[in-house]
Amino acid sequence: MSMKSRKLCLAAALSLVVLLCACTKQDPQALLASARQYLEKQDYRAAMIQLKNALDEDASLAEARYLLGTALLRQQDGVGAELEFRKAIAAGFPAEGVQPDLARALLAQGKMKELVAEFRDTQIESAPAQATLKTMLAAAYASTNDLKRAQVSIDAALEAAPDDMDALLMQARIQAARNDANAALKTVEQVIAASPDPSTALALKANLLLYAKRQPEQALTVYQKLVDSYPKFVPGYAGMLGILLDRNELDRSAALLKTMQEFAPGAAETRYFEAQLAYQKTDYRTAADLLQQLMKNAPDNPRFLQLAGAVAFQTKAYVQAAAYLSKALQAAPELEFARRILIGTHLATGNPRRALETLPASFNENSSDAELLALAGQAHLQNGDGKQAEALLARAAKLDPDSAAKRTSLALAHLYGGKSEQALVELRDIARTDEGATADTQLVGLYLRRGEFDKALAAVDRMEKKLPSSALPWHLRGTVQLAEKKTDAARKSFEKALEIAPDFFLAAASLARLDLAQKQPQAASARFEAILKRDPKQLSALLALAEIKAQSGASLEDVVTVLNSAVRASPNDFRPRQALIDYYLRNDKPRLALTAAQAAVSDLPQGPELFDVLGRAQQAAGEMNQAIGTFKRLVALMPESPHALMRLGDAYRADKAPDLARQTWRQALNLRPDFLDAQRALIEQNVHGGRLPDALAIAQIIQTQRPSEAVGWLFEAEIRSAGRDWENAAGAYRRALKIAPDAPTAIKLHASLVNSGKPTDASGFADEWLKAHPGDPQFYSHLGNVALNQKNNSVAEQNYRSALKRAPEVPWILNNLSWSLIEQKNASALEPAQRANELAPNQPAFMDTLANALSLVGDYPKAIDLQKKAIALSPDPTVYKLNLAKIYLAAGDKTNARIELDSVLAAGDRFERRQEAIKLKASL
């Protein structure tokens, strides 16, 4: 082809491109006209396509922006609508024409404060527009129960436009809020009769019938009429779904939701009810994913927050649940479902005081609300007020006698109130008549606590007859058999539970614990791997598998791989991310922990748990200013949480700001005067600073707050020990021991008597304790330690052997026995040292003992090699170098002994056995 021909072809091609471009260019005004027609037909998606095309042709089209905002608002997208309305005003669309709709968009997002701040003083010349704006303001005021201002605004709206339908409907809502349902219905009927499109009025009528008149059947009839007459009217479907889901009619709800998804797939109401349906089907993962999407656009919507709190509660993310539910109730105090779950959250986290504070102000023991009475009773039970708990739970059971759950709660109140026989009779009666398993499970647990294993197994047998296809009875049977120390029988029972329900996590976890006890980590891992083959996203199994790998010494990479799989399986669930961050922190990888925490903050809504782990990771990485800032945000998110203040105080302490730490811990105690973590921290800080009287005052407060617990006396004993006041320390330990007789306290009491120079009293107490607790290996080993420190090696040996008779597999007792034998130049020291190292390999202290035992029997090469390994593993190997010098001397190697002693002496005066090293070197 010639050059000229090429040019002609190129020119023709370019002309064709220009022609095509000319043909595809669309008239923006025609697109606007088309969009208006689609809006009239309520085909909002088609309207949005045309409007976006128009804006692609001419981005300055103010009317297109306004109409696009209108389409978005009608699809419940308040965020997008607000954005487009503001762009419309910026592009020159008359502000008065947009302001009422902009107010609607703010209202749809729950931005009540913003709406009032922006429009409370705005006046519009157009009477209809003024009426709409005042109606939106009235709705904002009414949402915060400010009915006085709401009425003033609606009066202004009706003055501007007496027949305005929206204003009249808002008037009806205010009437209903004032408990005048009949007047509200009369106003609504007036609108229905006058309106050419009564869809909104019909929706309000149905709501009034449902909530104000408590007539769900009549309300459902009106909603059905709505969806039949207006098949694309979202509020009609939403109202029907609310009733159907409340009745747990899940199949009918799913069918209705499917229709809704066809015409409004992206609407917020559609996604909300998708999440609600998933929640009621216990598909919490899907519900959480949908709610996270919703809350990105409407983070303050109380309904979304309420459901998100319910999901978090069911997945045991209690801190997140409390944050969501508290925020929901702040915005909408009338959300009783949110209130009840929040009370349950406080009970689940052991905070009965907050649970009681969350009860409605109008609540009293004469309430007719059985559910609320039961929650209040459980709160009083946790708070130690058994009498009040029993009264409330008894009334709840009387109001709802068919509720096995309430009757079971009352039985438990009797149990904790010391009426165990009455509780037993009640639980047996409930278990006999109730089809569920709650009372049966509590009954089995009660028999277990009483050590009545035969009766517990009989209760399991009765439960199995009631639930023949359930795995739960077999799991409970295995639990009882474990308590009987019938390990083989327990294993068979747990395996039977898994045979019935292969994905029954509790049975798999019980079998895994048995595998680990028998040192079979691979078998334990296989339990969860089998579950994961069927469901690769089973979060509990993934987390359990990661924990087993971590415990069995798997590499960091292997454990992290499993935890990352858990994160991918549940990307919107906080728990796997927390497990990953905690694993990095436990393994001294603060930078990796920080990276994981930062990723979590980026990927998830920034809830309290995220700030907690982020702050801990920052603190571990040495970024103290950032950690303090993060914990301050945590406190701002949870201003009523003493735990958040505790974290901040700990960060101040780590940053060497003790005054700020003490101030913050005191703030935590202002919120909860009996918050033990803060009390402990203040005691430790005061002891460290030499303020023993201040520390003692706190311990005495704890004694008053917790008279049936030993903790206050233990604190006093430790404070007095810090001041070397051994006699009073011993007295405090005696008081603690009377309340809670356990080996650690007995050991501390004995040590105090030894330190006070009263060997006769110490010996008498030791005899007294061992007579009452002859099988206590801890106390025997403590006596061995005392004798070893006093160079009474034969007595030490005797006590260690007594301890090993009761606990033959405890490495440190074996190690100490070996050392007492080494001190006696007894060659039998080798066997217990070897056993200790087998049970706990690569522990420098145990390796040091074994090396000395090898030296004692003349096996110097092995002894030297092992001692060098102990030195390499130890962060402070000075004492091990001293012992290595001794081994070299025993082997006749003075040269290497001198080298090691020079290294020891280079440590300076900080080495407490320096004089021993000097004497040893002088002897060379």
CA distances from 650 to 487, 540, 632, 645 (A): 43, 31, 12, 9
With residue 886 as reference, give the H or E element that holds it: helix 878-890
Contacts of 228-235 spanning 24+ positions with Cβ under 8 A: 229/199, 230/199, 231/259, 231/263, 232/42, 232/263, 232/264, 233/199, 233/203, 234/76, 234/260, 234/264, 234/267, 234/269, 234/270, 235/199, 235/200, 235/203, 235/269
Q: Average pLDDT, stretch 571-600? A: 90
DSSP 486: -
With residue 792 as reference, give the H or E element that holds it: none
Q: According to the model, what pLDDT value does residue 372 have?
A: 82
Q: According to the model, what pLDDT value does residue 116 have?
A: 92
Confidence band, pLDDT 50/70/90 cuts, at residue 573: confident
Q: According to the model, what pLDDT value does residue 386 have?
A: 64
Tokens of 557: 């990479």
Encode pLDDT of 416-461 as tens digits: 566 667 767 776 777 777 776 677 777 787 788 778 889 889 888 8
CA distances from 234 to 268, 634, 760 (A): 10, 38, 85
Q: According to the model, what pLDDT value does residue 697 have?
A: 96
- Residue 49: Cβ-neighbour burial (10 angstroms; 0-12, 13-18, 19+): middle
Q: Using CA atoms, how far apart are residues 194 and 163, in angstroms rounded to an integer?
A: 9
Q: Using CA atoms, how far apart are residues 535 and 559, in angstroms rounded to an integer?
A: 19
Q: According to the model, what pLDDT value does residue 400 have?
A: 75
pLDDT of 537 higher than 60:
yes
Phi and psi dihedrals of 351, rounded to 5?
-120, 70
Residue-averaged pLDDT of the chain: 86
Q: According to the model, what pLDDT value does residue 535 have?
A: 87
Q: According to the model, what pLDDT value does residue 459 have?
A: 85
Q: Using CA atoms, how far apart are residues 491 and 508, in angstroms rounded to an integer?
A: 10
Residue 198: strand, helix, or coil:
coil
Tokens of 113: 């404060």
Q: According to the model, what pLDDT value does residue 258 have?
A: 92
**Alpha helices (H) in 76-180, listed in sequence order:** 78-90, 95-108, 112-119, 127-143, 147-160, 165-177
Report yes or no: 243 and 230 within 8 Å, Cβ to Cβ.
no
Among candidate residues 682, 748, 756, the one with its CA nearest the CA of residue 713: 748
Confidence band, pLDDT 50/70/90 cuts, at residue 606: low
Least confident of 151-155, 640-644, 825-829: 640-644
Q: How many CB atoms lie within 10 A of CB 17?
A: 10
Q: According to the model, what pLDDT value does residue 22 have?
A: 39
Q: Using CA atoms, how far apart are residues 491 and 469, in angstroms rounded to an integer?
A: 19
Sequence-separated (6 or more) residues with CB below 8 Å from residue 596: 577, 580, 581, 584, 617
Q: According to the model, what pLDDT value does residue 417 have?
A: 61
Q: Using CA atoms, how far apart are residues 342 and 306, in angstroms rounded to an integer?
A: 9
Least confident of 31-40, 118-127, 602-611: 602-611
Q: According to the model, what pLDDT value does residue 735 have?
A: 94
Q: Using CA atoms, how far apart are residues 34 and 57, in angstroms rounded to an integer?
A: 15
Q: According to the model, what pLDDT value does residue 409 have?
A: 67
CA distances from 656 to 523, 615, 616, 681 (A): 47, 16, 16, 14
Give, to the nearest 10 degrees, the angle between helix 624-637 and helix 608-620: 160
Q: Average pLDDT, stretch 114-122? A: 90
pLDDT of 655 higher than 50:
yes
Q: According to the model, what pLDDT value does residue 410 have?
A: 67
Report yes or no: 380 and 393 within 8 Å, Cβ to Cβ.
no
Q: Average pLDDT, stretch 366-392? A: 76
User: If you average pLDDT over each of 606-610, 704-708, 717-721, which comes out highest?
Assistant: 717-721
